[in-house]
């Protein structure tokens, strides 16, 4: 399944409906994922290159369904500094943007 969210992030894989919403700020990307009933121990978040992988596996399978979502982040995302919190059934994921200085003008030598 491929589609682009409002902030141009690609949902690569999902065995469920979209659970949350991405927002882009000047200095970071933020994502709220609604996963009521899941504890921190039942949720796994991994960063692999420019991908964010989020899995939920309930300890008791008869209570909730498992879920898995994978997002491809833009090249400006610094996934190595990703941090998250889980409160009241909402997983908040924050991915800082890289500090990239773009030169206003460069000289190019012609060979």
Going by the DSSP 8-state scheme, the letter that residue 104 receives in this structure is S
Strand boundaries in the chain, DSSP class E:
3-4, 10-14, 20-24, 28-34, 43-48, 51-56, 67-72, 83-87, 90-96
Specify the pLDDT at position 87: 94
Specify the pLDDT at position 50: 85
Question: Nearest Cα to 54, choosing from 74, 24, 32, 28?
Answer: 32
Q: Say if pTM beats, i.e. exceeds, 0.75.
A: no
Contact 68, 86 (CB under 8 A): no
Provide φ and ψ at 69, rounded to 5°: -135, 145
Contact 17, 34 (CB under 8 A): no
What whole-number distance in Å separates Cα of residue 27 and Cα of residue 85? 18
pLDDT in tens, the chain (111 residues): 222 333 344 554 444 445 578 888 989 999 888 888 889 999 999 998 888 889 888 887 666 688 888 888 888 889 889 999 999 989 999 999 988 766 667 778 877
Specify the pLDDT at position 45: 94
Strands 83-87 and 90-96, by their bridges, are: antiparallel
What whole-number distance in Å separates Cα of residue 64 and Cα of residue 42? 11
């Amino acid at each position: 399944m491929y589609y682009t969210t409002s902030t141009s992030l690609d949902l690569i894989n999902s065995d469920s409906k979209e659970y949350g919403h991405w927002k882009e700020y000047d200095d970071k990307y933020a994502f709220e994922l609604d996963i009521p009933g899941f504890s921190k121990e039942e949720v796994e978040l991994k960063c692999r290159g420019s991908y964010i992988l989020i899995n939920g596996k309930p300890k008791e399978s008869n209570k909730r369904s498992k879920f898995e979502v994978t997002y491809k982040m833009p090249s400006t995302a610094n996934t190595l500094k990703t941090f998250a919190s889980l409160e009241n059934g909402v997983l908040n994921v924050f991915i800082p943007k890289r500090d990239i200085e773009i030169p206003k003008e460069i000289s190019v030598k012609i060979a």
